[in-house]
Amino acid sequence: MLTAVWVYAELNQGTLAASALELLTKARSLGAETVAAVCLGPGAAEAAGELGRHGARTVYTSTDPAFAELLPGGPCADTLAALIAEHRPDLILFPGSCGGRDVAGRIVAKLGVPVIANGLDIEAGEAVAVTSSVFGATQVVRTEFRGQRPWVALFRPKSFVAAPDADVPARVVDVPAAIDQRHRAARIVGRSRDAAAGPGLEEAPVVVSGGRGLQDPRNFGLLYQLADLLHGAVGASRAVVDAGWVPYALQVGQTGKTVKPNVYIACGISGAMQHTVGMKGSRHIVAINRDPQAPIFKLADLGIVGDATQVISRLITELGGTPGPPASADSAS
C-alpha cells in the first residue's frame, strides 16, 4: 500500500526536535518499504545518526546556514518539494509545531495534496487513516486519505513514544538547498528563550498550572515555589498568556504544549476545552477552583472548591516551605 513514508525532522536552532523521533517510530510501523527523514539546517548532519537509530533508512540533509536565518516555511518547503518530485513518497508526517505548520501549509498548497492536521494516530491498511480529536478532544474523528499523493499529516506533540530501532546507520544524502531570493524578504534577526521557559514543562513529572482564578500575575510566584518543592514545572492557561501574565512557552493546551505528567495541578483554571486538550492525558489531575461548576472538575481525580492562592499557600507550608505573600488584584487600593 505504502512504498515510501517520510518524516519531516524539525531542527530547533541546531537541535533535533523530540517530534522527529516520535514520528519516525510511528512511520516504521506503517509497513512501508522505505522510511526516510528530511532534516534541513545546521545540525542536520549530526542529527542523522539519531534519525537512523529510530528507523530512517535514508536521511536527506542540508546544513545550509540560511535555513536557520530565514523563516522555515519558504526554503524548507521548496527544498522538500524538489525531493518529493524526485522520489515521490506516499505519505509525509509532520510535527504540528509552528515550523511544521509553516512548511506543511506551503507543501500542500504547492502540490495540491490533502492535509490532515491535529493527528493523534495513524494506521495504514486498506486505507491510510488519521485519528484526530476535535472540539477540545470531546470527539474522535477518523479521516481517510483519498486522491493525489503525497498525503500530508500533522501530529500533536507526544502522540507517539519514541523508541530506537536496530542500530543500522542511515544513508545520508546531502541535498541542495532551495534558497530563493524571495525567501530572504523575511529574516530572523534575533532570538530569545522566554525567561521563564523551564526546559522541562513537557518532561516534568509534576506540572503546576495557573489560570485567571489566581487573580493576580504575582501569584504565579506561589506556583513556582510549589513546583520547586515538587521538582516540577509551571504551566499556564491561554487566558493568562494572552493577558501577558506569563510567556507563551508556559501555555498548555490546543495552541500550546501538550503535557502528560504524573500529576497535573490546575490552579484557578476553569477547564476550557482549549486547555484540557493539552493536559487530559495526565496520570493524576488535581483542580482547585472557586466555581464548583467549573468544567475542570469533570476530569479531576481530586477537586478542591476554593481559592487557589490560599490552598497553594497552605500546601507549600505542608510541604515544608514558606509561602510568599499572596497578592490580590485589589490589594493596592
Minimal distance, residue 102 CB to another protein, in Å: 5
Minimal distance, residue 47 CB to another protein, in Å: 16
Q: Left, alpha or beta for 149 (phi > 0: left; psi -120 to 50: alpha)?
A: beta
Choice between 170 and 285, CB closer to another protein:
285
- Please report, for residues 34, 66, 134, the alpha-carbon distance to residue 76 in angstroms, rounded to integers and kept in the order given: 22, 10, 29
List alpha helices for 5-72, DSSP H.
18-27, 44-53, 66-69
Query: Contact, 38 vs 10, CB < 8 A?
Result: no
Minimal distance, residue 229 CB to another protein, in Å: 8
User: Cβ–Cβ contacts within 10 Å for residue 269, how many?
Assistant: 32
Query: Contact, 45 vs 62, CB < 8 A?
Result: no
d(CA 57, CA 131): 26
Minimal distance, residue 256 CB to another protein, in Å: 9
Query: Contact, 62 vs 174, CB < 8 A?
Result: yes
Choice between 141 and 173, CB closer to another protein:
141
Choice between 87 and 101, CB closer to another protein:
101
Minimal distance, residue 167 CB to another protein, in Å: 29
Q: What would the grid cell of residue 126 be? A: 486498506
- Which residue is it, cell 541542495? 176
Choice between 171 and 298, CB closer to another protein:
298
Choice between 263 and 327, CB closer to another protein:
263
Neighbouring residues of 64: CB distance < 8 A, sequence distance ≥ 6: 40, 41, 42, 177, 179
Choice between 102 and 165, CB closer to another protein:
102
Minimal distance, residue 62 CB to another protein, in Å: 20
Choice between 53 and 257, CB closer to another protein:
257
Query: Contact, 162 vs 169, CB < 8 A?
Result: no
Minimal distance, residue 166 CB to another protein, in Å: 31
